[in-house]
A and B are shown apart, each in its own frame.
Chain A
Amino acid sequence: MMDKYYITHLRELESEAVYILREVAAQFENPALLFSGGKDSIVLGWLSRKAFFPSKIPYPLMHVDTGHNFDETIEYRDEFVKTINARLIVASVQESIDKGRVAEEHGKHASRNALQTTTLLDALEEHKFDCAIGGARRDEEKARAKERFFSHRDEFGQWDPKNQRPELWNIFNGKKNMGEHFRVFPLSNWTEMDVWQYIAIENIPIPSIYFSHKRKVIERDGLLLAFSPYLNLDEDEQIEERIVRCRTVGDMTCTGVWESKAESIEDIIQEVAATRVTERGGRVDDKRSETAMEDRKVKGYF
């Protein structure tokens, strides 16, 4: 067969993700896309527009808002939603706190990351969503290497690693009972590098905090954290200014930043190629224990 009948690895990953998104639209009654403002969920939004072109995306984007955001993220979010012509729903962790559903953490390591789980599960129930599309990738963390594209959650939103459905060929089984739902991960087979390369070839606009900028930071446990009013400082912790960029974007209290001069996507790609630490290595919440991610997943975290 002639060589022109092949597509590159990025186009194959794109085609696979679009296939999954269309399966979601076909198999579920009321799906939603979890949008964090991070690059993975941006790519998911972008792919969603492509998957259903010229129609509108048949599901809303849902942002679980910890209230601890980089300003740039919210600005970007509202602009991006317009670009891809999507509907946005915001589920607020602050509201969960106000309603007494969760209690704010205290102390130096206080973060709203763990609280998101309750807000998310409450929002899924309130809106009767039966499927939440997420941007998780299998290369991110050991516990995710065995995650399925279609991940079944019981009526408590929990994941049972022992009881996952086998996935073969391109057949995905989204059957469920009342009250249960699915998490679906179209980017399962993408690596961090694939995501950046795809952003480059598609020219997808991304939040400015991914690029190098001057920022107030503190150093903690060998990581740089963006300084913000939400961060509880120790007495001996110093605020300094450094030239940094974010490698992931999440709750401000636990997203590490990174000394970098990367000013363009190509710079970032070169940097990722040369980098010797996984992006999750920059997230404080994963450092709590070696199996931290798996423990949180079982409870219903993204």
Chain B
Amino acid sequence: MTTKNSYLDMELLRFTTAGSVDDGKSTLIGRLLFDSKSIFEDQLDAVKKSSEKKGLVDVDLALLTDGLKSEREQGITIDVAYRYFATPKRKFIIADTPGHIQYTRNMVTGASTANLALILVDARQGVIEQTKRHSYIASLLKIPHLVLCVNKMDLVDYSEEVYEQIVADFKGFVAKMDIKDVRYVPISALNGDNVVTRSKNMDWYNGSTLLHLLENIYIASDYNHLDPRLPVQYVLRPQKIEGFHDYRGFSGRIGSGIFRVGEDVTILPSGFSSKIKSIYAYDKLVEEAFPPMSVAIELEDDLDIGRGDMIVKPNNQPQVTQDIDCMLCWFSDRPMQLGGKYALRHSTAEVRTMVKEVVYKMDINNLVRDEDDRDVKMNDICRVKLRTTKPLFIDDYKKNRFTGSLVLIDEATNNTVAAGMIH
């Protein structure tokens, strides 16, 4: 619970959860919400009633996280649901993604903004194919931190040996992937061991509880502070407002890097250069701006700049190109059309694009490339080459999640049909 004024200095951590069906994901989230006192009495009452209706003796914490009625009736979750809880140190946003067939697109969606991926395994089963797929997606989406929760430790007599074996298996596998920071915690979501309170049943475990880890893992460097990029979102031109007759503010959210008043900048695509005259964080002047601040930058020179342009530094520029090489996750039940045209959104820019080539499809069960099957359907992950109608200002997704990502939109239905990570 929030003690007096601790909220003045709390950080935000976004994490995504994944596990296969019945690994205990809903129970774990229910447990985190419950033990951190983020569950309200009326919510608990509703869940108690539902538990009774289902003939259960104990309250089923998993019911706390059930979403929509249609899903409740089918007893499955089919979409990303967001949950919130806070401790005096941090506020947490959970993107809860189900382990069902549509998991790929859901997990990709949840993972796109996450600082951390929490992956569950059942201690009785250890690392299975699903675990590998989830870890692959976490690494594909460049989630900076991964926590492997070995759940249901109560069903293996809280055995250190079982746990160590699972950790060793996972380490062997994850070494091949590009994940910076991997942690391991043995838990019982049902009984609460090592979730919020330290387990008395596993005195062999010296690490932190899951909540302690979530509260303390270092996330301030998850943002890229090196490559200054401000995609221009909206131009502020007050004109008739006293004191701001000639003001033109280029507003947007800093994607990466640090901008300071007085620095030289270059504008893309024009290539014009100027200096930063002022930076407003809303109604206040600031000296510098960094992610994820929303600001408005004013320049010394009167340049023609609009939405979709990008403010960068002269000595550190993204690639300007119409040819995009990227990994794509396909979301739509309408298969991808080779040679098909789509709208493409990248930062604040929109262009049209054509799919020129499918280089390979990822067989995500075996984590190998499949160069024979190039039919891209829902939940498929593939490497493609795109050609756009106008140049985009791109970075490698590995280095920059905001200027390295894009989505495709079907122009007939207006639906978002794919997410791309640029190489």
Contact = CB atoms under 8 A, between A and B. Distances in A.
> Which of A56, A139, A169, A295 has the most B CB atoms < 10 Å from its CB?
A169
B84 A139 contact: yes
B66 A142 contact: yes
A5 B294 contact: no
A223 to B, nearest CB: 11
B292 interface: yes
A23 interface: yes
A196 to B, nearest CB: 9
B84 A189 contact: yes
A26 B402 contact: no
Interface string B246-267: 0101011100001000000000
Interface stretch (A86-94, A106-114, A159-167, A230-238): A159-167
A221 to B, nearest CB: 13
Given A5-B220, A168-B407, A188 B8 contact: no
A275 B2 CA distance: 12
A173 B407 contact: yes
A290 B46 CA distance: 8
B283 interface: yes
Contact of A171 (B2, B8, B82, B405): B405
Interface in A269-292: 269-270, 273-278, 281, 290-291
Nearest to A19: B253
A191 B86 contact: yes
Interface string B62-85: 000111111000000001111110
B40 interface: yes
A197 B282 contact: no
B118 to A, nearest CB: 17
A12 interface: yes
A143 interface: yes
B244 interface: yes
B168 interface: no
Interface stretch (B356-364, B384-392, B409-417): B409-417
Contacts of A99: none
Contacts of A14: 294
A51 B282 contact: yes
Contacts of B25: none
Given A55-B238, A171-B405, A278 B43 contact: yes
A50 B236 contact: no
Contacts of B347: 171
B40 A189 contact: no
Contacts of B415: 165, 173
Contacts of A219: none
B79 A164 contact: yes
B296 to A, nearest CB: 8
B41 A277 contact: yes
Contacts of B1: 273-274
A13 interface: yes
Contacts of B296: 53
Contact of A54 (B12, B91, B247): B247
Interface stretch (B107-115, B193-201, B202-210, B365-373): B107-115
Which 3 A-B pairs give the minimum distances between C-beta atoms?
A50-B282, A9-B12, A281-B42
Given A8-B9, A197-B7, 16 more contacts: A6-B11, A7-B293, A15-B292, A22-B234, A26-B307, A51-B294, A54-B238, A138-B82, A142-B68, A165-B415, A166-B416, A171-B407, A177-B414, A188-B82, A270-B4, A294-B69
11 contacts: A9-B91, A13-B12, A16-B294, A22-B294, A53-B236, A54-B244, A161-B70, A168-B416, A189-B82, A269-B7, A278-B42
Interface of A: 1, 3, 5-16, 18-19, 22-23, 25-26, 49-56, 138-139, 142-143, 145-146, 161-162, 164-171, 173, 175-177, 188-189, 191, 193-194, 197, 201, 266, 269-270, 273-278, 281, 290-291, 294-295
